[in-house]
Homo-oligomer: A and B are copies of this chain.
């Protein structure tokens, strides 16, 4: 793979504007710190860009997404303000093969919830817990070069039950000072896309300057890039017997006669109301 991985870090960029302490902690934005961590680890192997919710179409136009191999998502305070159309578009790109890394509070983003199909709820507490990130899948590419455990001195606590589908692979489990545990590193495949959820990273702490956290995210970027040659979405196709390779487009579930009758039925139904 000689071409660099095209990475796009999406930042909600609200805390940075609304809370001076966050702006001070992350002078280039949280997205900026995340991007710098990837550049520091991958160098020429990645081309890293950032964008934020403030941009037109939240910076996630069709053109931009088509030019993105791996999208990284950080959002928290404004999930509800993300436009549904943009969510649909990003969801489609994931199913077509764009990698997705969802960080921390992104667990409650529309995009992650749409991919998971569940509430993605959890328990939490912002009280300076120490987090220990333990590797439970030591041969996984995302876990390479990560201390066991990885210590994060101050962190927001996220605890179980985390309402997600059972992950395809459970890579990390975190504990917090208070005794809570969390499945903090999880992989999922959806359509032709690979997804990694990673728990560390609150606006209240300098987590995205942590060497280990940066290494995990960088490993995940390399893991999430699709190996498929083209970006296409899975489609429903009809195949004749003995013709395994030439699918035919969907024409609807009804015969021509039945479809006509169905239209009539629908018209009657409309008339009744």
Contacts and interface: CB of A to CB of B under 8 A. Distances in A.
Interface of A: 14-15, 17-19, 54, 76-78, 81, 95, 97, 105, 108, 114-119, 121-125, 127, 129-130, 132, 134-139, 141, 144, 147-149, 151, 157, 159-163, 165-166, 168-170, 173-175, 177-181, 183, 188-194, 226-228, 233-242, 244-245, 247, 252-255, 258, 261-262, 265-266, 269
Instruction: Pick from A17, A180, A242 the residue with the most CB of B within 10 Å.
Output: A180
A166 B135 CA distance: 13
Contacts of A163: 95, 191, 234
Nearest to A183: B136
Contact of A262 (B78, B136, B149): B78
Given A18-B262, A18-B265, A124-B236, 6 more contacts: A77-B258, A78-B262, A132-B180, A137-B166, A139-B189, A168-B169
Instruction: Pick from A149, A179, A235, A254 the residue with the most CB of B within 10 Å.
Output: A179
Given A76-B253, A139-B97, A119 B18 contact: no
Contacts of A179: 130, 132, 149, 175, 177, 244
Given A18-B262, A119-B95, A125-B240, A77 B252 contact: yes
A190 B118 contact: yes
Given A125-B240, A191-B163, A258-B15, A139 B227 contact: yes
A64 to B, nearest CB: 20
Contact of A77 (B226, B238, B253): B253
A182 to B, nearest CB: 9
Kindly report how many copies of this chain are found in the complex they form together.
4
A18 B258 contact: yes
A33 B139 CA distance: 30
Contact of A239 (B121, B123, B162, B239): B123
12 contacts: A19-B255, A19-B258, A77-B254, A78-B262, A95-B118, A124-B238, A132-B180, A134-B160, A139-B193, A144-B227, A148-B244, A161-B234
Nearest to A166: B168
A194 B190 CA distance: 19
Nearest to A236: B121
Given A189-B139, A227-B144, A77 B262 contact: yes
